[in-house]
Amino acid sequence: MSTTELDSRWIEGWFSTSDGTKLHYAEVGEGTPVILIHGAGGSAIGNWFINGIAPALAPTNRVIGIDMRAHGLSEAGPEGGRQHMAADVIEFMDQQGIQRAHIGGYSMGGFVTAGIMAAAPERFITAHFGGSGLAETEEWEDKVPADKEGTAPDEASAQAAYRNNRAAPGREVGNAGPATPRPAATAAMSEADRQMFRTRQRALADSINLPAIKFPVLAVNGEYDRPLAKTHRLWRELSEFTNVVLPGKGHLSAVMKDFIPQQYVDVLVAFITTHNPPRTGA
């Protein structure tokens, strides 16, 4: 593993998974670990560092953002590697000697977080879902209150800013298309694809014993990003759940640099620091 200075605020490093895939990460600060997982098409730095979240947590915590397979500066690895993202995070923790951490993700990163909750709930101090959540059961799906319709006022501007100002590799924001468009990424999903995606979402949610989870869980979603559909099950089944809805925000505008509201930063910092274990020793 090598570590070099990325800039004056954080450092970067690399680690190899058990199948030989080389993954990149960035970190800043010291103390109780916080592991943050970016959204699809994004990167650790773009999703968590340049928008102010990681620097805001650095005075109290060691903040680590991992570039998932085929994202940021990480290698793609073997075919089907996307299915191993949760295991990659657990491997990273093992290599770093991190027994437990605050773990959270945005959008796709939320699904990775859910995968870790299913496989290794004992590794969490807290969990955080940003721009994401868990699908409701079929029994409860039609009982979820309706979410606000329409588009966030600044969502189009956030999309345009992202597409017109391509970030350098490793600093992508994500959730708005890859730097080099690919047919699979840009094509509209068919109804069959949507149904398959919903089925996978529900299967993942069903694999987690939510009533048995005793660590605190936070969800932060934009007002126009289906926050009720994403969090109803979390609210209904978890014993310690905090739900925050960002007024006037959509999926990209809730997290992108220059659009992220200070509320998101403040809420996450307060949640993490409130649940940090007491420091031991002198």
CATH code for the domain in which residue 104 is found: 3.40.50.1820
Confidence of residue 28 (pLDDT cuts 50, 70, 90): very high
Residue 157: exposure state from Cβ atoms within 10 A (0-12, 13-18, ≥19): middle
Whether 185 is covered by a domain: the verdict is no
Tell how strand 22-28 and strand 61-66 pair up.
antiparallel
Higher pLDDT, 190 or 90: 90
User: Domain tally for the chain?
Assistant: 1
On whether residue 232 sits in a domain, the answer given is yes
Cα(first)–Cα(last) distance of the chain, in Å? Answer: 30
The pLDDT score that the predictor gives to residue 7 is 47
CB contact burial 14-26 (16+ within 10 A = b; e otherwise): bbebeeebebbbb
Q: Which of 245, 252, 238 is CA-nearest to residue 220? A: 245
Question: What is the share, in percent, of the chain residues with pLDDT greater than 90?
Answer: 76
Token digits of residue 134: 């868990």
Supply the pTM of this predicted model: 0.90
From CA 240, how far away is CA 71, in angstroms rounded?
32
pLDDT digits 0-9 by tens, 88-136: 999 999 999 999 999 999 999 999 999 999 999 999 999 999 999 999 9
Query: Is residue 151 assigned to a domain?
Result: yes
Count Cβ atoms within 10 A of the Cβ of residue 83 and give its class: 0-12 exposed, 13-18 middle, 19 or more buried.
exposed
Q: Does residue 268 lie within any of the structural domains?
A: yes
pLDDT (mean) for 235-247:
98
The Cα 135–Cα 129 span in angstroms is 13
As a whole number, mean pLDDT of residues 229-247 equals: 98
Range of the domain at 164: 3-177+191-274
pLDDT of 176 > 90? The answer is: no
pLDDT, position 186: 32
Q: What span, in angstroms and rounded, lies between the C-alpha atoms of 94 and 90? A: 6
- pLDDT tens, residue by residue, 249-268: 999 999 999 999 999 999 99
Name the pLDDT band for 190 (thresholds 50, 70, 90): low
Residues whose CB is less than 8 angstroms from the CB of residue 195 and which lie 6 or more positions away in sequence, other chains included:
none
